[in-house]
Amino acid sequence: MHMLEVKNLHKRYGASEVLKGVSFTMDKGETKVIIGPSGTGKSTLLRCINQLHPPEKGQVFLEGVEITDPSVDINKIRQKIGFVFQDFNLFTHFNSLQNVSIGLEKVLKMEKEEAEKRAMHELKRVGLGKFAERYPAELSGGQQQRVGIARALAMDPIIILFDEPTSALDPELIGEVLEVMQSLAGEVTMLVVTHEMGFARNVADEIIFMEGGHIIESGSPKQMFTSPKHKRTGEFLGKIASLYGEE
């Protein structure tokens, strides 16, 4: 049984079909990176997995349970799927500690004290133990995103979905976030949409290349970077490399 199985997922917004039948699986502890041009449905795919945007067709199984079944309690399922957003989406009226503990208190119904202890542990894990009292508006983008990761980690999720976690960051802040993510690899199952090719190459167990609502191909970083099967994959990686100065 796979930890996550996505089967033939379809999603449309009005007239445009964004996902045209996407299927893949993930196993425990794996890190998979989804790459591809903008507007090819990568973020939509993540939002279909945790049902923030319910798909029209297809199924998602989490630990063998079909979570696209309308009879499941989606709030219970979402507790087990961490989500890290491109623009952080920290709760602006809570400090870092409260941002991490609120889910534990209100969703997992932990005692406040226990929740805060756990939240503090997660903040330290992302290197922000000293920033527990700071509010989001008092943190840099990189720090905010690390709080966002701590918030997801605290719920002890089966998998964490990262939706372009470094795209909104100034270049000098990207490193600290990628470092945290790299430190989680192997420990936490991660599905990451990103344009950071260095991260994809060094951390991913598998790279999935998406375009036009389809998965064009997937494979190990080595295979994808050195001998992609599909012409489009090579073109895309070449373009990204020249843009970001990789190799």
Partner 1 sequence: MSDFISFFAQSLPKLLDGLSTTLFLTFLSLILGFLLGISLALGRIYTPKIISWLCIGYIEIIRGTPLLVQLFILYFGLPSVGIRITPITAAVIGLSLNSGAYQAEYLRGSIQSIKSGQMIAARALGMTKTQAVVHVILPQALRISIPAWSNELIYLLKYTSIAYIIQVVELTAEGKFIAANTFRYLEIFTMIAIIYLSLTVLFTEIIDRIEHRIRIPGLGAKRTTLLRDA
Contact 160, 148 (CB under 8 A): no
What is the crossing angle of helices 112-125 and 141-154, to 10°? 130
Count of residues of this chain found to bind partner 1 when the rule CB under 8 A is applied: 28
137 scored as a contact of partner 1 (CB under 8 A): yes
Instruction: Specify whether the CB–CB gap between 58 and 49 falls below 8 A.
Output: no
- Least gap, CB of 153 to partner 1 (angstroms): 12
Residue 93 vs 231, nearer CB to partner 1: 93
By CB under 8 A, is residue 199 in contact with partner 1? no
Task: Please list the residues that pair with 214 across neighbouring strands.
Answer: 211
Q: Which is nearer to partner 1, 67 or 207 (CB)?
A: 67
* Cβ 210 to partner 1 shortest distance, Å: 21
Site stretch for partner 1 (CB under 8 A), options 99-107, 171-179, 184-192, 227-235: 99-107
Told to check if 135 binds partner 1 by CB under 8 A, we report: yes
36, 41, 55, 136: which one binds partner 1 (CB under 8 A): 136
- Residues numbered 202-241 forming contacts with partner 1, rule: CB under 8 A: none
Question: Shortest gap between Cβ of 37 and partner 1 (angstroms)?
Answer: 24
* Binds partner 1 by CB under 8 A, chosen from 11, 32, 78, 118: 78
Alpha helices by DSSP H, listed for 155-220, are: 171-184, 197-203
Give CA–CA dist 224/212, Å, rounded. Answer: 19
Task: Tell me which H or E stretch contains 235.
Answer: helix 231-244
Residues 148 and 136: beta-carbon distance below 8 Å:
no
Q: Which is nearer to partner 1, 38 or 75 (CB)?
A: 75
Least Cβ distance, residue 228 to partner 1 (angstroms): 33
**Which amino acid is located at 56 in the chain?**
E
173 part of the interface to partner 1, by CB under 8 A: no
Q: Which helix (H) or strand (E) holds 231?
A: helix 231-244
Q: What is the C-alpha separation between 186 and 177, in angstroms, rounded?
A: 17
Tokens encoding 164? 């372009």
Could you tell me the smallest distance in angstroms from the CB atom of residue 35 to partner 1?
A: 23
CA pair distance 148, 7, nearest whole angstrom: 28
> Shortest approach of partner 1 to residue 74 CB, angstroms?
9
Nearest CA to 29 out of 223, 163, 191, 217 is that of 191
- The single-letter DSSP state of residue 226 is H
Is residue 118 near partner 1 by the rule CB under 8 A?
A: no
Minimum CB distance to partner 1, residue 134 (Å): 8
- Residue 75 binds partner 1, judged by CB under 8 A: yes
**Are the C-beta atoms of 32 and 206 separated by less than 8 Å?**
yes
- Provide the binding-site residues for partner 1, judged by CB under 8 A: 50, 52, 75-79, 81, 83, 85, 87, 89-93, 95, 102-103, 106-107, 134-138, 151, 155
